[in-house]
Amino acid sequence: MLDATYATHYHAACKRMDYVVKSLAERPSRAIQLAVDAGGEDAVQALFDAVMDYGYRQVLVQSLNSPKLPQWVRARLESFLFGNRRPLAALLVKTLH
């Protein structure tokens, strides 16, 4: 069962996806802060899910470059995008022969 806050913010983000993507590309910390103010963690997760569902993963990845993201949002976004482990360069993972 979906939380009402999550569902409300997910559908709102879907209806305004062009605006959401533009906002995340131009001022990611502001766009995310608006979600935090509107509905907290559920609204932030709904925003991430909607953007990903519409195929704009790269906008979320680029949002990590914003120095103004709150640490808890950054941690949640990194976990959402990359799982529990941050990706490493291939040279750091593979053993050299």
User: Could you report the per-residue pLDDT of 22-49, keeping only the tens digit for each?
Assistant: 999 999 999 999 999 999 999 999 999 9
Per-residue pLDDT of the chain (97 residues; tens, 9 = 90+): 468 889 999 999 999 999 999 999 999 999 999 999 999 999 999 999 999 999 999 999 999 999 999 999 999 999 999 987 655 655 555 555 5
Return d(Cα 50, Cα 17) in angstroms, integer: 8
CA atoms within 13 A on the CB side of 46: 23
Phi/psi for 32 (5° steps) reads: -70, -35
Q: Give the pLDDT of residue 92.
A: 56
| Structural domain range at position 24 | 4-93
pTM, to two decimals:
0.82
Question: Given the structure tokens 């590309």, which residue do they identify?
Answer: 25
Q: Which long-range contacts (CB under 8 A, 24 or more apart) does 86-92 make?
A: none
Tally of domains within the chain:
1
